[in-house]
Structure 1
Amino acid sequence: MIVGLAIGMRMTAAAMATTAVLLPAMLAGTIFVVVMTMIAALLLMPLARVDHRTAFFATAAAGMADMATVAQQRGGDPDVVSLMHAIRVASVVSVVPVLVIGFGEPGAPVQAGGAIESLPLLVMALGLAWLTALLMRPLPFPNPWLVGPILLGAALSGSGLLMVAIPELLIILAQLLIGISLGVRFKRALLLRLPRVVAAALVVSAYMIGSSAGAAWVMSSVSGLPYMTSFLALAPAGVTEMVITAKVMNLDAEIVAAFHVMRIAVIASTILLTFALFERLEKRLRDRPV
């Protein structure tokens, strides 16, 4: 919520116009992620010795809980799906920020133009962000606790109604809480029961990171976006973690958020159609003469 509000406050009218120009790149990035995860599923099947249903939902770039539920409904193994998602996100969150911070060029610190440092206004803005997230929870939006505050902050900042500065200490606190939430996803019993899946998940995660790095170079060359911004925009991890990394590096966090939100929204709304296409592809490959 804090991170979302901070990003939204940077979404001035000029910033939103710049983001809108990148819609074709966002669509292309989403298509890339869908294709990449399909290939990842094909890799996961023999490596982890899982069926195609489990492999597909385990590698789909969508929410872990949602994919585990859909996988179970479709005859997949929800435990494998949950474990794969947890390892993928943890791997990307552990590796990508290190690569970006270690090898990337940080941008200049950016604060919303005319942002006001006021505790009462900050409390009011956080309260509004909390209410916005609550109202969005029943709606089919990805990660309402991030997207809701982003939309609120963008509306307030873009319209000029309110631009409040978000203290850096709150951003650091948000990072700590997100790190803890990622760590508690791992259950010892599940890790011990599925060691082959753990190893396969690490291999597939490495493939995803490498593919995203290569695609980011192409996107950067075509769109003119900085390479590290493109990398974070295409990285197969949660929107919150990648956006925080972008913000820490003073990169275009709002653009990174826009890429991920579009990707999650499109994938979540078309997941069953994509699964049907994957089933046909997997069957064709399986029936192909050797």
Structure 2
Amino acid sequence: MNIIILNLKGLSFAFAGAILANVLGFPLPWLLGPLLITVIFGIIKVPSQCDLRWRKCGQWVIGTGLGLYFTPLMMTTLLLNWPALVIGIVWALILGSVLAWAQYKLIHLDWATSWFSSCIGGASEMVNIAERYHAQVDKVAAAHSLRIVLLVVCIPVFLEWYYTVNLSLMPTPSYVESTALEVMILLCLSFCAALLANKLNVLNPWVLGPLVLIGGLTAFDFQLTNLPEFLIHFGQLCIGWSLGSKFPFNFFSTSRKFIVGCLVFNMIGLIMSTLIAIVLARFLNFNEATMILGISPGGIAEMALTAKALGLAVPVVVAFQLTRLIVILLTCDYLYNLSKNKMKSLNR
């Protein structure tokens, strides 16, 4: 009963944050409002809780909605831009290595903790791998939470300012008006896809399962229905609330040097990524905002939501984030062992 009360309290905080952010004109108010208010209440030690199932629910809804953007035209655009995807992967590997070195040398973390807290991969996957190498798992989790929150807060604000767009306007795919039955069928299909992906241990199953199924149907020109706006808002609320609750708040008093270092290094990494994305976009004649979101070291759901709000090519952003995630997860073990041996030889 106490857990239920804490979850209901957290949900009410998140909803209040979304309403306040919407009134104040925040970019992505249903994502940023819950995130920021949850962090604030956590800092002042007001007890609340966000069960993992809320995040899964948000990911399921968002994955379903994002899948509707994978039209045949978008898929053709995606195939034509494979060189940019490769460059994005290479940059993520370079950035992760530089961040790891900085944390190792300047914050004096052990190499395993430095490496896995800096890899631009999924937070939960990095934590699981870090455990095998006896890294400080709490610091790995905190570093990824800080990075994602920093990106979710800074990137929409930058894009709204730099490109003078209104992120509160949420464009939707051009489908016919949906009925309650059509929406229920769509959600049932995507929920089954999420369960199957989870059973098969797919990466980020509650996003990628619905996204792959619905995106695959849309890519073959199946005329699917649209999701109501309130469901999209609810999905964003769940993700923002979950992100805000991920912080181990006792770190603010026990690991200040670590937190400051993570924030500074990740901000530098974000600025460098943005500059590289702008240069690369102009060289390849690519949309700058799309390239920024694609190369940014964020998460699939969060960056895709920002692309959706901007009216950009959501599948292209998802492709950047997904290909990078897969490559990093497949190579991080090997690169860690290789870099560990290099660091040992340098320290001799």
TM-score w.r.t. length of structure 2: 0.77
1:32 equivalenced with 2:91 (yes/no) = yes
Gaps of 5+ in 1: none
Aligned 8 A contact 1:9 1:157 in 2:
yes
Match of 1:208 in 2: 269
Aligned 8 A contact 1:106 1:251 in 2:
no
Q: 1:246 aligns with which of 303, 307, 317?
A: 307
CA distance in 2, matches of 1:225, 1:282: 38
How many residues are matched? 287
1:276 equivalenced with 2:340 (yes/no) = no
Aligned 8 A contact 1:61 1:267 in 2:
yes
Aligned 8 A contact 2:178 2:226 in 1:
yes
Aligned 8 A contact 1:112 1:163 in 2:
no
Aligned 8 A contact 1:5 1:153 in 2:
yes
Aligned 8 A contact 1:6 1:166 in 2:
yes
Gaps of 5+ in 2: 1-59
Aligned 8 A contact 2:64 2:214 in 1:
yes
Match of 1:121 in 2: 182
Shift in Å at residue 109 of structure 1?
Answer: 6.9
Aligned 8 A contact 1:40 1:207 in 2:
no
1:91 equivalenced with 2:165 (yes/no) = no
CA distance in 2, matches of 1:75, 1:226: 42
Aligned 8 A contact 2:116 2:126 in 1:
yes
1:153 equivalenced with 2:214 (yes/no) = yes
- In the alignment, residue 146 of structure 1 is paired with which amino acid? V
Match of 1:3 in 2: 62
**1:115 to 1:219, Cα distance in 2 relative to 1, 3 A:** farther
**1:267 to 1:112, Cα distance in 2 relative to 1, 3 A:** same
- In the alignment, residue 33 of structure 1 is paired with which amino acid? A
1:233 equivalenced with 2:300 (yes/no) = no
CA distance in 1, matches of 2:126, 2:243: 17
CA distance in 2, matches of 1:214, 1:281: 29
Q: 2:139 aligns with which of 73, 80, 87?
A: 80
CA distance in 1, matches of 2:332, 2:242: 25
Identity of aligned residues (%): 25
CA distance in 1, matches of 2:310, 2:336: 36
Q: 1:67 aligns with which of 105, 120, 126?
A: 126
Equivalent residues in 2 for 1:47-196 (5 A)?
47-106=106-165, 111-196=172-257
**1:140 to 1:29, Cα distance in 2 relative to 1, 3 A:** farther
- In the alignment, residue 138 of structure 1 is paired with which amino acid? K
CA distance in 1, matches of 2:344, 2:84: 31
TM-score w.r.t. length of structure 1: 0.92
Aligned 8 A contact 1:141 1:265 in 2:
no
Aligned 8 A contact 2:171 2:309 in 1:
no
Aligned 8 A contact 1:29 1:234 in 2:
yes
* SS of residue paired to 2:199: coil
* SS of residue paired to 1:137: helix
RMSD: 2.0
* SS of residue paired to 1:130: helix
More displaced, 261-270 or 146-155? 146-155
Match of 1:18 in 2: 77
More displaced, 72-81 or 135-144? 135-144
1:181-230 alpha-carbon deviations (Å, 9 max, x no partner): 01111122233221111111111111210121122113212332211111
Shift in Å at residue 59 of structure 1?
Answer: 0.6
CA distance in 1, matches of 2:119, 2:275: 19
